Chain A
Amino acid sequence: MSWTTVLDVIGGICLLLGAFLCLAGAIGLVRFPDTLSRLHAATKPQTLGLILILSGLAATLRTWSAVTTLVLLAATQFFTSPVTAHLVGRAAYRNGNVDESTLEVDELSDALERSGWDPTK
């Protein structure tokens, strides 16, 4: 068994795991009841699923130019997906889409009340 076969097997396993994580995230996106919990389900394919698929692709291609491009893509995704998640969570909270009875700790509503923000407006 040569190195190329081993790398091909690793790449195939990574591709399958990443595709399975995408499917799991999609199922969670449909099944979960709230915007914030859907956001929780959405981060699984965004980070781990994507990095599994990209490492599978890197193990299949096995060239340095491909590996650097894929590392750049993974780093970009790691830096940009928290920004989008933060914006969506903030907008969901301020639009009243969050059911506050389901929250264990809610520090944001106290801080917003102190700042004079009225949720009924």
Chain B
Amino acid sequence: MTIVALIALALLGAAALIVLLRLFRGPTNLDRIVASEILMVIVIAGVATESAWQRTATNLPLLLILGLVGFVGGVAVTRFMSRDADDLDVEQTPARPVHPTAPVDESTDPTRQSDDPTDDPTDEPTERKSHR
């Protein structure tokens, strides 16, 4: 069992190094998110291999927590990343203008923005955001 665990840990270590290469190089941040998901799976597999080696059930809650944290982190960062591409010019897509006294629902209602005279024609981020 020791030899099997050592071979499995060597494979997992090689896999983690390769994934770190993609995490470092990855042209967009979405590639980095995918790579970090795989890194989390490799960490789970490594902890599982270690506890199979030692024959202890002590690490099982740690496995469960690692899986859930990986899911929540991946979803949160993906939602954050899907607002804009990192290849696009940020200056072309200005932040959505928010009037200090405007109600919150105004920006999501496209009919009210057209007859608002104070709103200059920068409603494209709103339209862009509504399709995402």
B109 at the interface (CB under 8 A from A): no
Residue numbers in B under 8 Å from A12 (CB-CB) = 1, 4
Cα A90 to Cα B52 with chains together (Å):
37
> Chain A: residues with CB nearer than 8 A to chain B?
8, 11-12, 15-16, 18-20, 22-23, 25-27, 29-30, 35, 38-39, 42, 45-46, 49-50, 53-54, 56-57, 60-61, 63, 65-66, 69-70, 72-73, 76-77, 80-81, 83-84, 87-88, 90-92, 94-97, 112, 115-117, 121
Write the B4-38 contact mask toward A (1 if CB under 8 angstroms, else 0).
11011101101110110110000010110111011
> Chain B: residues with CB nearer than 8 A to chain A?
1, 4-5, 7-9, 11-12, 14-16, 18-19, 21-22, 28, 30-31, 33-35, 37-38, 41-42, 44-45, 48-49, 51-52, 55, 57, 60-61, 63-64, 67-68, 71, 74-75, 78-79, 81-82, 84-88, 93, 124, 127-128, 131-132
Distance between A2 CB and nearest chain B CB, rounded to angstroms = 15
